[in-house]
Chain A
Amino acid sequence: MLQTVLSGLESGSWFALLGLAIVVVMKAADVPNFAMAEIGLVATYVGTVLNAAGISFWPAVVVTLVIGTLLAIVIDLALMRKLAKHGHFPLLLMTIGLSLALNALIGLIWGHEPRSFTAPWSGNHLDVGGLDVSWAQVVTIVVGALGAIGITAFFRSPMGAQMRAVAENRETARLIGVNAGRLSAIAWGLGGLIASTAVMLQAQSTLVSTHSAASLIIYGFVAATMGGFVSLFGTFAGGLALGIIQQVVGTYISTSAQFAVALLAVFLVLMLRPGGFTKGMRLRDV
């Protein structure tokens, strides 16, 4: 059981971080970003290439994070900005088109074989009272928690408050002088940073490839839904809970039911608490 929960916390941390990346962009830029996992994946692939080329671990990590951040900012400035006035539907489709294009681009440049990001602690294990704990798991869970705390702290800062104001009412925020465009670029950058972290964590403990992004993004959205697309805490807790539910269902019911159960969980959460676990304010209509 504990082994199951541990696995659940590990994958839950990826989901939670990706969910947070989605929520950050959603809050400040009002875009449901289906390309989030691919952004992280592009960055992580660059990292693994550097890693394989013999660049040592930490510089490769830094490059990965910088690329993820910059890529997201460029996407916002080049593609999303001028679509905003046409409503949500073109934005939603644009991120979908972007995810297809980025995914194909990765395949074209680096091929479709899965990759991993070798870390100094890769393959090392701990034995905690009969529980088999890998360092990769420890790193994932700790970084996930630190990331969530960091993002929460960011949203308490003056700039974070501006983002929350934009999330609550974009037009009013602009009227009183909040520069929504600059905030949206920052939010995209932050989202890209978090997504790169999530995918990189996945890559240091298992394999990532052009098709691992699809399930990651869905679970990320599930986590974001649990937080009502606004609550950071709800998203993080939702992601972790999702990971654990997945593993428990896989272990005690059937591995083929995992996906369906996760989806039904979302549905139930939405029906019982339309605003997510931690009910924030309602979201604007599409």
Chain B
Amino acid sequence: MARTSHRVTAALLVAVLVSACGNVSSDAGASGDSGEAPPGITTDEITLGATLPLTGTAAVAGQGLEAGLRIAADEINAAGGINGRKVKLVLLDDGFAPDRVVTNVRRLVSQEKVYALVAPSGSQGLPGTWSFIADNGTPVWGPVSPADPKQQEVYLLSATRASQQQVAIDYFAEQGSTKLAVIKQDNDLGVSMKLALDLQLPKHPDVKIVANEDVQPGSTDVSSAVNKVIAAKPEALLLATDNNQVALILQHLRQRNITIPVFADQGGAGTGGTSAVGPAGAAAEGLIGGMQADVVSTDNPSVEHWRSLAKKYQGQQGESGFSLQTYSFLKAFAELVKRLGGDVSYANFNKTAESLADNPISLGSIPDIACGKLPNGHTCVQQAGLAEFKDGKWTVLRKFTPPK
């Protein structure tokens, strides 16, 4: 009896192996680089996906990012969709955990069959998906974090953290600050800060880093880092932390009556919104935030337009800077797909996207999107701006400029 079952098993194994071997030779789904119809697109619908940190340590940012996407999709659909196709959004939560980002991207591409990923912001897990993305050819339009400009499928639509930090270093150098201090998290935030320092310090020989402290991601204990920074007597402080820690550090500094200027990138400072300055309270006065998108309170007409839509949004964080950012990204995506005309193949998508350098997408709320060919062309935007939080309100300190 046992022996028979073994034989049957072996026979079945061989049969299955032989018959189906061809099916597992490629990871790509129905897509491909040729003119085949890409997934997620029908005559009247286009499915787009994103993985976002809707819960966990970055939930405030994630909710804002979600809001922007939903506001834009509603607006596009109300106006009849993109070339007649309604936008269907599939937004998954990754809880800011890298492993769940990887699972989510698989799900979006293979299960939900999305046409493209728009503005995914899956903590640091995204790099773990690049090879899978490459196999499927799925465009990744405007990953918010982290940035990797070397992938064929990935288009960066806003200044990276490092670029923002570079612009900030330029700014402080111009203001005559020579002693800078740094507090960074030991993760991709810290990595980008290190990159920015390596790139920009040689350009400002007078500028010295007098303190360079690490803090635990997610920790509320920042006091020893702050104490060390204070002891080093810097003239300005650069932060590469999440918005909670930005708020905490500001409070600690101001409690000790230290009034040096403090910079954090768009994510950390929540530029335009309240994610960092709200909790920081009075201590937020004077915080300088990096700008990937315009500040939410300007009278820029395109921002005003977004603001009128955001006011009606039902969920949380609708009027935050994160919301404006992803709103702009999805609007830009719609514009690009419009330009594709009848040929929505990935080949045409990439060709059209890479020609944006000649005919940029200009929205007004974010710097013009001008993508080119690899190796450097997929970093479609390099300019970052700076905004200052003053009298309870964000005001532009420096218009969008590329780092020196």
Contacts and interface: CB of A to CB of B under 8 A. Distances in A.
Partners in one complex: yes
Interface of A: 3-4, 7, 11, 104, 107, 111-116, 123, 125, 132, 134, 202, 206-212, 214-216, 246-247, 249-251, 254-256, 258-259
Given A125-B255, A207-B248, A111 B224 contact: no
Contacts of A247: 223-224, 227
11 contacts: A7-B223, A111-B59, A113-B60, A207-B247, A207-B251, A211-B244, A247-B224, A247-B227, A254-B214, A258-B221, A258-B224
A111 B60 contact: yes
B359 interface: no
Contact of B224 (A123, A125, A210, A246): A246
Contacts of B274: 113
Interface stretch (B111-119, B275-283, B294-302): B275-283
B247 A211 contact: no
B232 to A, nearest CB: 12
The list of the 7 closest CB pairs from A to B, nearest first, reads A250-B224, A256-B214, A112-B59, A212-B220, A114-B279, A7-B223, A255-B225
B221 A113 contact: no
B256 interface: yes
A212 B279 CA distance: 14
Contacts of B57: 211
Given A107-B55, A259-B216, A4 B247 contact: no
A114 B224 CA distance: 20
A202 B274 CA distance: 22
Interface in B126-162: none
Given A111-B316, A113-B278, A211 B225 contact: no
Given A7-B223, A125-B255, A247-B224, A255 B214 contact: yes
A113 B224 contact: no
B224 A251 contact: yes
Nearest to B186: A256
A236 to B, nearest CB: 19
A113 B275 contact: yes
Interface string B67-86: 00000000000000000000
> Most chain-B Cβ atoms within 10 A of its Cβ — which of A7, A115, A249, A259?
A7
Contacts of A202: 220
Contacts of B251: 206-207
Contact of B221 (A132, A208, A211, A246): A246
Given A112-B59, A112-B60, A215 B244 contact: no
Contacts of A254: 214
B273 to A, nearest CB: 10
Contacts of B252: 206
A114 B255 CA distance: 18
A188 B274 CA distance: 37
Contacts of B354: none
A216 B216 CA distance: 13
A215 B220 contact: yes
Contacts of B279: 113-116, 207, 209
A135 B256 CA distance: 13
B392 interface: no
Nearest to B281: A116
Given A206-B248, A207-B248, A211-B244, A104 B55 contact: yes
A250 B228 contact: yes
A7 B216 contact: no
A91 B386 CA distance: 51
Interface string B204-221: 000000000111101111
Given A113-B279, A254-B214, A207 B220 contact: yes
B214 A132 contact: no
B56 interface: yes
A245 B223 CA distance: 13
Contacts of B248: 114, 206-207
B259 to A, nearest CB: 15
> Most chain-B Cβ atoms within 10 A of its Cβ — which of A104, A202, A214, A256?
A256
Contact of A123 (B186, B218, B255): B255
A256 B278 contact: no
B214 A7 contact: no
Contacts of B247: 114, 207
A247 B221 CA distance: 9
Given A107-B59, A113-B60, A251-B224, 17 more contacts: A3-B227, A111-B60, A112-B59, A114-B244, A114-B247, A114-B248, A115-B279, A202-B220, A206-B252, A207-B248, A209-B244, A212-B244, A251-B228, A255-B214, A256-B186, A258-B224, A259-B219
Given A255-B225, A256-B214, A258-B221, A211 B56 contact: yes
A112 B270 CA distance: 14
